[in-house]
Structure 1
Amino acid sequence: MQTVFREVDFTEFAFTRHLMSALQLRCEKRLELVIQELRAAWVARMRSLLGRIDGPKILLWIADHRPEEAQGVLASYGNDPLYVDRGMIDALDDHIEDCVEVVYDPGIRGTRTEGMVFSELEAPVAMQMPGIEVHDAATRKLTELLEPYFA
């Protein structure tokens, strides 16, 4: 990043999204180069990690959008996982048995927080996280997929 954005003092940033939004304001074209490198690094590291895991590997996608709906250069700050798209997941096909996708309505974030552990100070952040309904849906989908492995 320092090579692409030589004029930027990176010590000013404590948060990734703040950094990326500042870089976007400087030059979207140069930021796209950084994003391409981040995506390539993510795929390479995931392949390395998956290669070290014995047994079946299931990738779990939890987001408020499908992987093919991933946005480009910071089109949406709430679009987690940031920059991960269908092509990146497809690049892992030979390392995983399956991918479970749980796509939730962003309107249900934080609607039910029972069972979650957080301080009063962390409550506003907890309310932005996928709630218990989303985790229940992920559990059901994973259980259904994994049952044959334990039969």
Structure 2
Amino acid sequence: MPANKSTVLPDKGPYNFQVLRGLNSARSLLSCKSSGSVDLFDADDGSGRQIWSAEEVPDFPGVYNIKMQTGTDPTKMYLSCSVDGTTVNLIANDDLSGRQRWRFVPANSPICDYYNILVVGGTEKGRVYLSCSADGEKVDLIETDDGSGRQRWQAQKTST
């Protein structure tokens, strides 16, 4: 588990979250489908499904709920994951399991402003790093930053 060195983001957003590298497709922005499944998309298409807020959890400095802004089922807003970490999706609320709470830890990278996004709790087998498949079709958690760039994310402030 990485050091407990969370970064406090300057404000709650809105943000596009873009993966650093390691992809074999044009997909790079954290996105979702209207059903609430999470993947990557190649551009901000104006649907709202690539726009996220990062809202600090009250009484937990440096811990955030990452929420979808619009463009999906309104009952599915919170970025979440399965207990085994193999699925990242959206759910209706923060269920206090830790799986809807995330930390932004500065990535060990020569490129500024990239973060490892780590789930706070509720998973097994050490899967805590937000990651994606090389083709961008699957977002999941893995146990470590493997150096591919797919566990390093930039929070890009957007005006929409």
Q: Which has the larger radius of gyration?
A: 1
Give the structure-1-normalised TM-score.
0.23
More helix by share: 1
Give the structure-2-normalised TM-score.
0.22
More strand by share: 2
